[in-house]
Every structure is written in C-alpha cells, then in structure tokens.
Amino acid sequence: MYNFDEIIDRKNSNAMSTDGFRDYIFHADENMKFPYADDEFIRMWVADMEFAVPDVVIEGIKERLDRRILGYTKVFSPDYYEAFVRWCRARYGWSFPKEELVTSNGVVPALYDLVELLCSPKDKVLILTPSYAFFKHAAAFHGRECVCSDLINKGGDWTIDFADLERKASDPWVKLLIFCNPHNPTGRVWREEELKEIARIVEKNRLWVISDEIHCDLLRCDQIHTPLGKVMADYNQLVTCMAPSKTFNLAGMMISNILIRDESLRKLWVRRHFNCDNPLSIAAAQAAYEKGGPWLAELRKYLDENFAFTERYLRENLPKARFKTPEATYLAWVDLGEYFSPEENLSEFFAWNAGVLLEGGSMFVQNGEGFIRLNLACPRSILEEGLRRICESIARRQAK
Ligand code: LCS
C-alpha cells in the first residue's frame, strides 16, 4: 500500500540529515573534508526517516493551506486534544484530562525549560546511560549537575541497575529524573514491573520525573507501550512528553505534546510559552493522529523487516558484532567492542573509511563505548549498501 522502498531526494531541502552532520557529529564547519562527496554518504545518523510522511498528513496540511490565512494560531479547538487522546486510549489504554496538555516546539526545548523550572542551581538531574545526549545538555545548559546511572548490558539485553539508581536517587540534591520510555539508544520497551520499580524510587524520594515517550509509537509489531503516567496514575510530579515527530517523520514541523499534571508548573509553563503554534503543524499532527494509523502499521512491518535483515546481515558478515533487534525505535545499537578499542571515535572511522554517517557510542553521554547507533528508517536498498560498507571497512582494517 505504501512504498517504503522509494528513494526520495533530500538535497537542497535544508535537511539536518544531509547538511547538518559536520556540525552535529564532528563539531566542525563546512571546511571539513572527507574522502566522500556529501551526496555519496549513506546517512544513518540523525533520528528522522527517509520515508515520505503519510499522504493523509500532506492532505491535512494542504487543506489548511487552502484556508489561505496563516495568522497567529494556537491550539484552541478541542479537536486536537480529542484526536491525540483517542490515539492514546486506543494504543496504550491510557488517557489524560484536556487541561494537562500543552504544546511545545519540540521535546528538547521542553526539557531545557523544565530543567530550569524544576531545579534550582544546586539541584541535580538523574539520567540512565547510555542516553540521548540532550538529556545531559538540558541539565548542563543551566549549570545543573547530571548524575548518571549506567544500564546493565547482559549479552545485549539491557536492564536498569535499580540498586544503583535508588542510591543515586536518594542524594538529597537529586531533584529530577529524565526517563526515556522507550529508551534511546538501546530500544528497550520498559516492562510494567520495571516501570513500577521506577515509580517506587521516584515516589520514595519525591522526585520530579519527565517521561520522554517520543519513541513510543515506533515499536516492533509484537510490543506494547506502557506510559509511565499509567503506572503512576496519581503522582502529580510527572511530566509526559509525546509527539508525532518521530512516529510520522514530522520533526521539522516542531510540534510536540507535553502533559503537565501539576497545576502550578503548568501555569509557569503557559506564562513562559506565550508564543503561538504553527497552523500547518497543528493540521499535520491532527491529521496524523486521526488518520495515520494504517500507515504506521505498514511502517512498523517494514521496520521489523529492516531489523531482521540487519540481524541476518551482521551475523553473516560481521560475526563478532553483538546485535539484537530492539523492542522499539528504528535505531540499531550495535556492539563492535570485539573490533574496536573503547577510545576509538567510531563516527570518524565510518565516515572516513566506509562513507557512512552514524553516531558512535561516545555520543551517548557514557556507557556506550564500542557501540554504533544505526538509523534503519530507510529503504532496504540503502540499508543494504550501508551495512555492506560498514562490514567491508572493518574487513579492510583487519586485513592490514
Ligand atoms: N527525546 C528523545 C529521546 C529523542 O530521541 C529525540 C530525538 C528527541 C527527544 C527530540 O525531540 P524534538 O526536540 O525533536 O521534539 N532524537 C534524535 C536522535 O537520537 N538523533 O537525532 C534526533
């Protein structure tokens, strides 16, 4: 029904994926040169997709454009809430009252603002590592110390070190847990028992918790997402972040849903966020939640097949790589510790030697050394070429 094999040209569209990698991955400017031209790279880094957004979303945007006036806009109509809460009820068996919903130009900007609102300068922020680096950046930007609890890796299965987390959570200066559910980069879908244990530790220490659930719709077909808010139904110091951006490839539309239970925090938020919403983004997000389900079902099947393909390919061509299909996300977290030493910069190695742009494990705060993260949300032909280049570059290095 949908053609996820189609290769779509992103050149000259100001895409982060094609034009932003020097800055984001290498902290360099346009003078940085590689043995590959920019359009020769296989791009498996930033977490957006090489797939067209659903037609129903494009139509939703077009219908809004046909109204021809794009003046100051904010989500006033209950239709947006209705579309999103119906999505949550159907998929996670969970809902929330309308007044808890505020919008943000992205989850990352929300994290930055919430850290500042929730933590005084001496307070600390707790995260699980490896971690999406912006969790740490959000704390560091405001001078808040970040406390890391390393996940445990047992043969490619990632679990929370609850004893360590509980010890760190009991530091009286730790005020906030930023929790990634499901987890980027390991792709873990936290089980209800694990969420209950998180809830127990958070409640015992009266922490604030931000549950970043931006990846929660991108699960393998046999997985179910449990919002932390479902497990912590009565806990007021919880903020949940969800968005259509990852799910429907709408990151550039910059609209995300922030659910704030605590009334005084919400008031502070609303006072700070006097800005408006983008009318095209509202139209896109609403159309996605109302009509995007069938597309998402197809996408998930395609992603499952990309993961199965990757598992097979690595098993056959890179036998010492340790990789298991993750439960969520379109991101493969591959352990190359048998091929590289922990201090090697893997983003650099694969950009130079394979012409593949990927994120090396050192980009994930800590506890990611020796890993690479590959974005598999691309047509299978591109995935195959990326994997071929990765495996061949390692074979060449071993032959030296
Ligand atoms: N939270 C998590 C856990 C993410 O993985 C990302 C995007 C965001 C928030 C960004 O939210 P936004 O501000 O766009 O609403 N993750 C990316 C990644 O891992 N690489 O590129 C983007």
Q: Is the pLDDT of residue 92 over 80?
A: yes
Q: Which helix (H) or strand (E) holds 258?
A: strand 256-260
pLDDT digit string (tens) for 21-46? Answer: 999 999 999 999 999 999 999 999 99
* pLDDT attached to residue 235: 98
- In the chain, the percentage of residues whose pLDDT exceeds 90 is 98
251 CA: nearest ligand 1 atom: 14
Neighbouring residues of 332: CB distance < 8 A, sequence distance ≥ 6: 187, 307, 310, 323, 325, 326, 373, 374, 375, 376
* pLDDT attached to residue 400: 83
Tell me if 330 sits within 8 A of 218, measured CB to CB. yes
Beta bridge partners of 129: 150
Q: Which two tokens stand for residue 157?
A: 């299965």
Backbone angles phi, psi at 337, to 5 degrees: -60, -20
Q: Is the pLDDT of residue 275 over 80?
A: no
Is residue 25 lining ligand 1, measured as CB closer than 6 Å? no
Residue closest to 339 by CA, chosen among 262, 397, 272: 397
Instruction: Name the region of 254 (left: φ>0; alpha: ψ -120 to 50; beta: rest).
Output: left
User: What SS3 class is residue 207?
Assistant: coil
* pLDDT attached to residue 1: 76
Mean pLDDT of 316-330: 98
Backbone angles phi, psi at 125, to 5 degrees: -115, 130
| Best of 18, 183, 184, 188 for a ligand 1 pocket test (most atoms within 8 Å of beta carbon) | 184
How many CB atoms are located within 10 Å of the residue 375 CB?
Answer: 23
Using CA atoms, how far residue 223 sits from 182, 219, 243, 288, 329, in Å, is 11, 6, 19, 21, 11
pLDDT band of 273, cuts 50, 70, 90: confident
CA of 31 to the centre of ligand 1 (A): 27
Distance CA 313, CA 388 (A): 9
Is residue 212 lining ligand 1, measured as CB closer than 6 Å? yes
Read off the amino acid at residue 278. N
Mean pLDDT of 186-206: 98
Mean pLDDT of 102-110: 97
* pLDDT attached to residue 360: 98
* pLDDT attached to residue 21: 97
pLDDT digit string (tens) for 204-217? Answer: 999 999 999 999 99
pLDDT digit string (tens) for 201-254? Answer: 999 999 999 999 999 999 999 999 999 999 999 999 999 999 999 999 999 999
Using CA atoms, how far residue 311 sits from 54, 55, 305, 334, in Å, is 28, 31, 10, 10
Q: Which two tokens stand for residue 126?
A: 């707790």
Is residue 245 lining ligand 1, measured as CB closer than 6 Å? yes
Tell me if 241 sits within 8 A of 210, measured CB to CB. yes
CA of 68 to the centre of ligand 1 (A): 32
* pLDDT attached to residue 326: 98
Diameter of the chain measured on Cα atoms:
64
* pLDDT attached to residue 6: 98
| Best of 16, 46, 108 for a ligand 1 pocket test (most atoms within 8 Å of beta carbon) | 108
List the residue whose alpha carbon is closest to atom 22 of ligand 1. Answer: 47
Mean pLDDT of the residues in the chain = 97
Q: Which two tokens stand for residue 81?
A: 């809430």
* pLDDT attached to residue 259: 98
How many CB atoms are located within 10 Å of the residue 128 CB?
Answer: 25
To 10 degrees, what angle do helices 346-353 and 380-399 make? 100
CA of 340 to the centre of ligand 1 (A): 27
Q: Is the pLDDT of residue 274 over 80?
A: no
- In the chain, the percentage of residues whose pLDDT exceeds 70 is 100
CA of 48 to the centre of ligand 1 (A): 9
256 CA: nearest ligand 1 atom: 15
Distance CA 29, CA 338 (A): 32
